[in-house]
Chains A and B, each alone.
Chain A
Amino acid sequence: MTAPATSSRTAPGAPASGDGAPASARFRSVPRWVTPALGVGALVASAAAVVQGLVVMGPTTNQGEYSRLLVVHPPVATVSYVAFGVTAAASLLYLIPRTRARAWDQLAGASAEVGVVFTVLTLVTGSIWGHSTWGVWWTWDARLTASALLLALFLGYLALRRVPAEETVRAKRCAVAALIAVVDVPIDHYATSWWRTLHQGSSISLTQPDKHVDSAHAVGLLLGFVAMALAYAWLVTQRYRVERLEARYEEEGLSLALDARKAEGGVTAPTGPSDATGPSDATGTSGDPPVGALSGERP
């Protein structure tokens, strides 16, 4: 078995003769220093945000020590919107025949999972903040309910991705589901404007001068946004690679496991067409390379 003809810029797990898709080409051409730089940047920005939030920033008159949560709560909430926006955009690109590529589906799945993590953190940190300011951990406020609905919708999306089906059918089904689920993002964001809610509106606004915070809190908020944005970028990059590896594992895993068992037993097994035929690639309709193209020569 020979190695696939991966270039030196090919991420591990990326198909050798890719999907023929612009998306995969773009991902493969990411310079090698980008991912570590994102990770280091996220760590540095996170450390700076923690110092700013817990040490530099002082308590405020209205909210006391709890105003320090400004560094984490709004950034994780915003990044969850971004994550689901990326999922929706990638899903839309998958649904358009001209831009359809398996990479978009994989990016959508990766971003949705990271978005779910950020949404859970939004609800947890918001609950802590709400407990101090409202006296309750949870209330069926419009903003909170919309956030909980967002979490439920994308948990459902992730569950739908695991429903067994032919690759293109599953991807199309999930893309449509993502486009439906993402409708809740603007509802969640504008809930404080559209309805009377316990949850406050935005703390700062570029267009409304009366909405502002002191410079220490503004810097803390900015550092929080930078830290969470970098963390999201790093996480989604890593998760995207795992998606590709999982796809490759599905295609090759059975053959590899059989080879390993045969090697253990010292059995020389006959090779046949079924050995190199994946469930979704047999028809060649998915736009993906056949398994043989991924793994090169097979025994």
Chain B
Amino acid sequence: MNYVLAGYAVTFGALGLYALRVVLRGRALRRVLAPVPPVDGEEHG
């Protein structure tokens, strides 16, 4: 059962960490490019 839990933890943990990395990278880039702010000023798709 420990290996099963490890499988779940690795899967969802890795996806969570990767998602965090992508979001932080996006925020950092937006901050750098801040002199050209979007008109509505918020993230949306």
Using CB atoms and an 8 Å cutoff, list the residues of chain A in contact with chain B. 1, 3-13, 30-32, 34-35, 46, 50, 53-54, 65-66, 68-69, 71-73, 76, 114, 117, 120-121, 124-125, 128-129, 131-132, 231, 234-235, 237-239, 241-242, 245-246, 248-249, 252-253, 256, 259, 294-296
Contact = CB atoms under 8 A, between A and B. Distances in A.
Q: What range describes how many residues of B lie at the interface?
A: 20 to 34
Interface in B20-37: 22-23, 25-26, 29-30, 32-33, 35-37
Contacts of A259: 35
Contacts of B35: 1, 256, 259
B23 to A, nearest CB: 6
B12 to A, nearest CB: 6
Interface class of chain B by DSSP: helix
Contact of A125 (B11, B30, B37, B43): B11
Contact of B38 (A10, A31, A252): A10
B22 A239 contact: yes
Interface of B: 1, 3-8, 10-12, 14-15, 18-19, 22-23, 25-26, 29-30, 32-33, 35-40, 43-45
Contacts of A242: 22, 25-26, 29
A13 B29 contact: yes
A31 B45 contact: yes
Contact of B39 (A3, A69, A71): A3
B44 A35 contact: yes
Given A32-B44, A117-B15, A249 B8 contact: no
Given A249-B32, A249-B33, A6 B23 contact: no
Contact of B30 (A7, A231, A237, A245): A245
